[in-house]
Amino acid sequence: MSKQRPRFSRGPLRFLLPGCAGLFLLQIALATPLLDGVVESWLRVPGAEATKDPAYIVVLGGGGIPSDTGLMRTYFGAMHSLAHPDATVIVSLPADENPGTSSVDLMKDELVMRGVPATSILMETRGRNTREQASNIRDMLDPAALTEPLHIVTERTHLRRSLLCFRKAGFTRVYGIGTYNTSAEADAGAWTFLRYTLWSNLQLQIRVLREVIATGMYWSRGWI
């Protein structure tokens, strides 16, 4: 007598493949230039455009140096400082155990290399998150600084949460400088969307999702 193989009910499994395919197609659809518009509209904070000359330029360190986020923020911070030479630059990033060679020191060196005077740079090295960085910078400055224009340099997906944290800390004139990547000017050949743009926008999706979760957590804790 032959044994019959056990029969498994496919039940919900029959929806797994179509569901995964649908999710993949949704990701591909979002990984288009339209995603940039969604990011810009959702993450924008009213009145945050940097239209006033800053008294302070805060460069939030991100991943430090070496990292793409750290180098990008440092570059934009340096360019913004050179355009506003009277502003004090504040680099905010936790310091490690290697004074002089830690990421925050390397960011300062990068700023100096790009033309920012070392005497114009202050360091905030204790904040472990955006909320602590905002509070620490408030405490290290004169109370009058709360009403002076302050420009925050950070990745554009992080800009909304940063602005709200600094406003919550008491700064009343906070503006944002969002960092971003630019496309290569040289001819990169055919299929540039599949070779470059698609993957960059998929990475952007992950950063946006992380920021949505982080913003929700900050809101639930009353930090913004």
Domain of residue 127, CATH code: 3.40.50.620
147 is in which domain, residue-wise? 43-179
Question: How confident is the model at residue 184, as a pLDDT?
Answer: 54
Contact 173, 147 (CB under 8 A): yes
Give per-residue pLDDT as tens, 41-78: 666 666 666 777 999 999 998 777 777 788 889 999 99
- 152 falls within a domain: yes
Average pLDDT over residues 120-130: 93
Confidence of residue 174 (pLDDT cuts 50, 70, 90): very high
Q: How far is CA 194 from CA 21, 25, 187, in A?
A: 18, 14, 15
- 120 falls within a domain: yes
Confidence of residue 123 (pLDDT cuts 50, 70, 90): very high
Question: How confident is the model at residue 146, as a pLDDT?
Answer: 95
Confidence of residue 16 (pLDDT cuts 50, 70, 90): low
- 20 falls within a domain: no
- 130 falls within a domain: yes
- 202 falls within a domain: no
